[in-house]
Structure 1
Amino acid sequence: FSKDLMKKYNIPTAKYEVFTNSEDAIKYVKEQNTYPAVIKADGLALGKGVILAENEKEAVEAIHSMIDDKQFGESSSTIVVEEYLTGPEVSVLSFTDGKTVVPMISSMDHKRALDGDKGLNTGGMGTVAPNPYYTEDIAKECMEKIFLPTINAMNAEGRTFEGCLYFGLMLTPNGPKVIEYNCRFGDPETQVVLPMLEGDLCEIFEAIYEHRLADVKIGWKSGYCTCVVMASGGYPVKYKKGIEMFGMDDKGQVDGAFIYHAGTKYEDGKFYTNGGRVLGVTCNAYTLQGALDKSYEAVSKIKFEGEHFRKDIGQKALKALPKDSLDLEYKQDMEDYIEENGVYLRQ
């Protein structure tokens, strides 16, 4: 539906075709002979329904496993074979009442399971906000070519969308293009976006419901927010549940961080793992490095058998920032001083 909508209303996205028959899909990828090829299950697949095939053999196997072997059940009875795009990825969640669209602060997800963007795709191993690749100029282009056209397209189709619309974007050499939409807050992007919100979230929801979003002032805090996901060993394939967790207080938190419980259970005063992605360890600070240091310090306090997390969250984002390290170190020292002494300094 999304791809067809974008094609109809000239919203920039990757070239694609849709298939329900494996023979036709295989014929298409062989004709295209362009790799990597992106092969997607059309339905819900817990964030794991995308395979990046590096060659023909992998593409054929992916198509057979999705359509013929029902790897994701009925979710993969229809697949999308898509052009592979290159460039930094950006997630932009937005509030909309069907008339006004207000983008939230941008973020960067880390989809692959292993350091260096290797391993299988997951539902997300960590996030940082804002995304330094998403400049003011790019934001204006996205509003003009993607955000407003999407809202207008849905209105034109008689399907007015109200609520939270998530734009998954790729900043390609040919401009920003849409990878995906989600009709909800994105996980784990929301973990770093909402802590940066200045304003009353309930007031925003009410304004959307009453179609007066344009009247609400929505602001964002300065600085950065980072989330490191702690997952079960073996995720996103097979993993154990029911493993006892240590290092958190009786409310499941760690001093200096906010812990989102994604896959846990609480029994008899103890926390146990109960899913693939277990925790989202989240911190904010004046600098990106400061926020990352805090998140990883909190991660180091939490222990459970088989724990798995990426150690390079935010490294690509750091490379996109100005290289004035002395200035960054000074700002971090100043922030630490303020936190420790409870005072404000004049510039």
Structure 2
Amino acid sequence: MPKQMPCPDNCNILLIGGGGREHALAWKIAQSQKLGTLYASDCSNGGIAALATPCPEQWDASRVFYMSRWCDQHDIHLIVVGPEVPLTEGITDELTTETRLVFGPSREAARIEGDKSYAKELMRQASIPTADSRTFTNYDAARGYLLRGLDRDLENEFKQPLAKEVTEFIEWCSEVEKKEFVFSDELLDILIHREDPCVVKACGLAAGKGVIVCNTVGEALDAVTLIMKDKAFGDAGNAIIIEEMMIGNEVSVLALVDGGTIWVLDLCQDHKQVGEGDEGPNTGGMGAFCPAPLLDEEMLNYVEREILVPAVDAMRRDGIEYRGVLYAGIMLTSAGPKVLEFNCRFGDPETQPLMARLQGDIVDILWRTASGTLDGADLDFSDDVACCVVMCSEGYPNSYEKGKPITGIEQFQGQDNTMIFQAGTNCTSDNLVTSGGRVLGVTALASTVDEAREIANSACKKIHFDGAFWRSDIGCRKNKKSDSATSVSGD
């Protein structure tokens, strides 16, 4: 357990990660009165490069000694970890010392994001409301589960006993024995298009894309094949979760946890799907706004009392002290709030509007969280609404080209109400070019979400790279209790 020690006045910080979330953190850290020198492990990002000194050592679980030695040589006091992968690999365990803190949970605590089956079991044991689900490590068993009860449904459809080959097919699905059958077109159509909404999730980390929403049995079967057989997400799909589809409004609840104190930040709403109106496949996030007026004080207290506190307490009972960000993706269903997923770090793109609105010294806040002294921190947010619109490369979230020159960013430097956070960019000797699917997080501040979105969309039109696209409807959802949206959360 790290010592409870005060934050030094000239705090040297190493930032791990090179995306839009990390640029937003670097931007806010650079404003701190407590900052000594800011170093960054990835300065290929042009925005981070303008704020930080490069660290030659990249995080690699096999090179812990070298990064630890570099931190010692440069008198690093605090390491701030953005992405989830280093946390699940144990960067906090390996680099925390008597004089150095790491902002982010331990390897064991980070399992709450890194292993969805572990998170589901933790929620079950702690009686945390979540979707009913089953976990599978066997491809055929998962397919058999999706086809459960098919004989009853088909008999109801045809109003007569099933043909022998269909009965045998269903038995094969249950017994996982390979047989071959010939189906009529009518039977095949029912097999594939029978409505049975569910969500199929890769249990491991899949960069926010390992969740597939399925409306029919056929779609679910295809999702299982894509994840488990085709290995679309690599080893992250060695195990999957099949869970009921939840309906309602989705909200991102991020809290700072110092092992005991839980400090809930202003609510955000992410927009996962690539297309306007929440159409198309999941992405890492196409935009977010904050604050999202989805929970009144009573319901927010319920989320803290029935979801966040039980999760932290359940880990503590297992000897795991949670320090860092605990991010709960919540679906506001007709039966009340239920957990879609837990993450062990700041969200991306939620961090961008959060940092744009955050008041107080971020270095002091991060230090207090890591040191177990969060109680009494100066943490507040501006009254403005922040809206982040993500500009993407053509083809995202599938394949896309890199190296497209980016122009127009410079006109927004120094503006109080518009911030351009770089994500998938690479700063070359000649210019700034695209290097990822999500390229820029164009973030605007205004008195209302509609005004902030209008400013952000207007800024997007003034920035150019070939094939750029974005969603112009961030924050346009009708977030009323009577309205509904399908569960689409990813990692």
The alignment's TM-score, normalised by the length of structure 2, stands at: 0.63
Question: Residues of 2 paired with 1:315 and 1:170: CA distance?
Answer: 18
Assess, with a 3 A threshold, how the Cα gap between structure 1 residues 170 and 32 changes in structure 2: closer, same or farther. Answer: farther
Q: Could you list the per-position Cα deviations for residues 187-236 of structure 1 after superposition, in whole angstroms to 9, with x for gaps in the alignment? A: 11111112222211111122123322112232121120000000001100
- Following the alignment from structure 2 to structure 1, what is the Cα–Cα distance between the partners of residues 309 and 463? 43
SS of residue matched to 1:265: strand
Cα shift at 1:254 = 8.1
> Which residue of structure 2 aligns with residue 136 of structure 1?
297
Structure of higher CA gyration radius: 2
**Aligned residue in 1 for 2:219:** 58
Task: Name the residue aligned to 1:206.
Answer: 367
Is the contact between residue 286 and residue 470 of structure 2 (CA under 8 Å) also seen in structure 1?
yes
Q: Distance in 1 between matches of 2:475 and 2:218?
A: 33
Partner residue of 1:30? 147
Q: 2-side partners of 1:211 and 1:267: how far apart?
A: 40
Q: For residues 52-109 of structure 1, what are the alpha-carbon distances to aligned partners after superposition, in whole Å with 9 as ceiling and x for unaligned?
A: 1121111111111211121111110110111110101000111111101001110000
What secondary structure, in the 3-state scheme, does the structure 2 residue paired with 1:95 have?
Answer: strand
SS of residue paired to 2:147: helix
Q: Which residue of 2 aligns with 1:116?
A: 277
* SS of residue matched to 1:159: coil
The structure, 1 or 2, with the larger RCO (C-alpha pairs under 8 Å, 6+ apart) is 2
1:263–1:277 contact (8 Å) kept in structure 2: yes
Q: Do the aligned residues in 2 keep the contact of 1:90 with 1:108 (CA within 8 Å)?
A: yes
1:162 Cα deviation from its structure 2 partner: 0.4
**Per the alignment, do residues 32 and 241 of structure 1 end up closer, same or farther by CA in structure 2, a change over 3 Å counting?**
farther
Which amino acid is 1:12 matched to? P
Q: How does 1:101-180 map to 2 (within 5 A)?
A: 101-180=262-341
| Residue in structure 1 matched with residue 134 of structure 2 by the alignment | 17
AA partner of residue 216 (structure 1): A
Q: Name 2:96's counterpart in structure 1.
A: none
- Give the Cα–Cα distance (whole angstroms) in 1 for the partners of residues 475 and 141 of structure 2: 40
3-state SS of the aligned residue for 2:255?
strand
Partner in structure 1 of residue 119 of structure 2? 2
The answer to whether 1:218 aligns with 2:379 is yes
Structure 1 residue runs without a partner (length 5+): 322-347
Partner of residue 328, structure 1? none
User: Are residues 32 and 258 of structure 1, via their aligned partners in 2, closer, same or farther at CA, if it must alter by over 3 Å?
Assistant: farther
- Provide the C-alpha distance between the structure 1 equivalents of 2:401 and 2:298, rounded to a whole number of angstroms: 46
Q: Is 2:272–2:278's contact at 8 Å kept on the other side of the alignment?
A: yes
AA aligned to 1:15 is D
Question: How do 1:1-347 residues align onto structure 2 when only pairs under 5 Å count?
Answer: 1-31=118-148, 35-249=196-410, 253=413, 255=415, 256-316=417-477, 320=480
Q: Secondary structure at the match of 1:96?
A: strand
Partners of 1:132 and 1:320 within 8 A in 2: no
* Counterpart contact for 2:391–2:470, Cα < 8 Å: yes
Match for 1:219: what amino acid? D
CA distance in 2: counterparts of 1:136 and 1:119, whole angstroms: 33
Secondary structure, aligned partner of 1:213: coil
Cα deviation for residue 31 of structure 1 reads: 2.1
The one-letter code of the counterpart of 1:28 is Y
What's the offset of the Cα at 1:320? 4.8
Structure 2: which 5+ runs fail to align? 1-117, 151-194, 482-491
Q: 1:26 offset after TM fit, Å?
A: 1.2
Residue identity opposite 2:140 in structure 1:
E
Corresponding residue of 2:76: none
Once residues 413 and 406 of structure 2 are traced to their aligned partners in structure 1, the CA distance between those partners, rounded to angstroms, is 12
Give the TM-score normalised by the residue count of structure 1. Answer: 0.88
SS in 2 for 1:142: helix
CA–CA separation in structure 2 for the residues paired with 1:229 and 1:52: 22
* Alpha-carbon distance change, 116 to 43 in structure 1, aligned in 2, over 3 angstroms: same
Work out the CA distance in 1 between the residues paired with 2:386 and 2:403. Answer: 30
Q: Return the alpha-carbon distance in structure 1 between the equivalents of residues 277 and 454 of structure 2.
A: 19
TM-superposed deviation, 1:253: 4.5
